[in-house]
Amino acid sequence: MSLNANDSYFKQSFLKDIPYPQIIEELDYEKLLKAYEELFKSFLKESVEL
């Protein structure tokens, strides 16, 4: 399965059905970092600098 999803789909399905070994090879590193940043911020009650 290839991960050529657009950003909104990527965010929606980030935890649901991600192939962990493949994502590091197939996705842009900056996009991966951004997704993790959004994920962590979503668990916080206040906005903070990461």
Q: Is 38:47 a contact under the CB 8 Å cutoff? A: no
Per-residue model confidence as pLDDT tens digits over 1-50: 445 555 665 556 555 565 565 555 566 778 878 888 888 887 776 666 66
Burial of 32 (0-12, 13-18, 19+ CB in 10 A): middle
- Residue 1: the pLDDT is 44
- Residue 30: the pLDDT is 81
